Amino acid sequence: MVATNQYVADSATLLEIYKRAALLKANDERARKVILSGQIAMVYYSYRGQEIIPSVMGQLLRDDDTICTIYRGIHDMLGKGFPLRPLWAELAGRVTGSCKGKGGPMHLTYPPKGIMVTTGIVGSSAPIANGLAWAAQLDKSDRVSVCTFGDGASNIGAVHEAMNLASIWKLPTIFVCQNNLFAEHTTFEKMTGGQNIAGRAAGYGMPGVRVNGNDPEEMYSAFAQAVARARAGEGPTLLECMTFRFFGHNFGDDDSYIPKDQKAAAMEADPVPALRARLIADRIASEHELAAIEADIEAQIDDALEFALASPWPEPDDLRFDVFEKEIAA
């Protein structure tokens, strides 16, 4: 067994985590702006507030490690290295998008970076992640398979079937529950027996750890341990990463169901500026350096958005392609 606290994020690692988090935050801010401006009409599930979790995962995962994520998953994908141009072109529904405009924001896919499945069905990332983990086992590879899902998804049967199978087959699957305390308009508290998702892992004979997903060091230590365990062939881990989403379920919804003070407190503790301040206070990076990183991110997003909006739309005839390997007859 790998000992706890063996994995410590050093200064350089924290800076790398921040770089990812800054990209994720900026991309979410831009997405909301673009929707409000009318430049792109799309369904959008803001992940603002949850950036640290995938920034840490991206830091620890390799390109050949795979991830199955969900509709609220662009942060997971950017953390894993999804390039901005095909991402934005897909959001815009253009033929230059990673999925040629056929998937959209809820089904983004990018296998070169191990981004294998994005599902709009709550909980369905988990059973498929097991198959990718099984393949790693058959390949005798030490790559790992991550699935992410929400606190609401932890009540769906598929997730439980998947955890049990991963445990008995000792699969290198890492179950990452991003507990943002809400499922649509319903609270975690009201719908979760035992008030604890990590604890459910015990029932399946695997480690389950609740961590503060907004704390880069805690998140790093826990995720690194889960990765090490999976790479060593010791089996799956369930991580319950506590976090919060700032902009409701899908962007534009009425979030009056979120108690005002709860939301205010969460936004006050925004993990991205908190990490930024920490980097400056600990002299890991200067204000000037961070500002340059952020300016570069904005420029990359500008470029990707421009590319997306200048790209052509798909042709109606494209419907005949990619249903099967061979096209459907006209």
Partner 1 sequence: MSAEKAAKPKVSIIAAISKAYQDIFAEDPKVITLGEDLADPEGGGIAKITKGLSTSFGDDRVRSTPISEQAIMGAAIGASLAGYKPIAEIMLMNFTTVAMDMIVNHAAKLRFMSGGQTSVPIVIRTMTGLGYGSGGQHCDYLETWFAHTAGIKVCAASTPEDAYGLLRSAVEDPDPVIFIENLPTYHAPMAFELPDSSHRVPLGKAAIQREGSDVTLIAYARMAVEARAAAVQAAEQGVSVEVIDLRTIAPWDRETVLASARKTGRVLIAHEAVKEHGVGAEIAAVINEELFGALKKPVKRLGGAFSAVPYSKPLETAYAPDAARILAAIIELAK
Ligand X SMILES: Cc1ncc(C[n+]2csc(CCOP(=O)(O)OP(=O)(O)O)c2C)c(N)n1
The binding site for partner 1 (CB under 8 A) comprises: 66, 68, 97-103, 107, 109-111, 116-117, 119-121, 124, 126-139, 145, 157-158, 161-162, 164-165, 168-169, 321-325
Residue 241 to residue 177: CA distance in whole angstroms: 6
215 binds ligand X (CB under 6 A): no
In terms of CB distance, is 184 or 303 closer to ligand X?
184
Q: Among residues 169 and 251, whose Cβ is nearest to partner 1?
A: 169
In whole angstroms, what is the distance from residue 86 CA to residue 104 CA? 11
Quick one: 121 or 265, whose CB is closer to ligand X?
A: 121
Separation CA 11–CA 4 (nearest Å): 20
Phi-psi region at 184: left, alpha or beta (left = phi > 0; alpha = psi -120 to 50): left
Site string for ligand X, 154-193 (x = CB under 6 A): --------------------------x-xxx---------
Compare residues 66 and 178 and give the one whose CB is closer to ligand X.
Answer: 178
Residue 237 interacting with ligand X (CB under 6 A) = no
Do 240 and 210 touch, CB atoms closer than 8 A? yes
Q: Of partner 1, ligand X, none, which one does residue 256 interact with (CB within 5 to 8 Å by kind)?
A: none
CA dihedral 257, 266, 248, 197 (to 10 degrees): -90
Token reading at 235 = 């089996």
Q: Which of 36, 41, 43, 121 binds ligand X (CB under 6 A)?
A: 121
Instruction: Tell which phi-psi region holds residue 178, choosing left (phi > 0), alpha (psi between -120 and 50) or beta.
Output: beta
- State the minimum distance, in angstroms, from the CB of residue 90 to ligand X: 19
Distance CA 238, CA 164 (A): 11
| 24 contacts ligand X (rule: CB under 6 A) | no
User: What residue ranges bind ligand X (CB under 6 A)?
Assistant: 72, 120-122, 149-153, 180, 182-184, 249
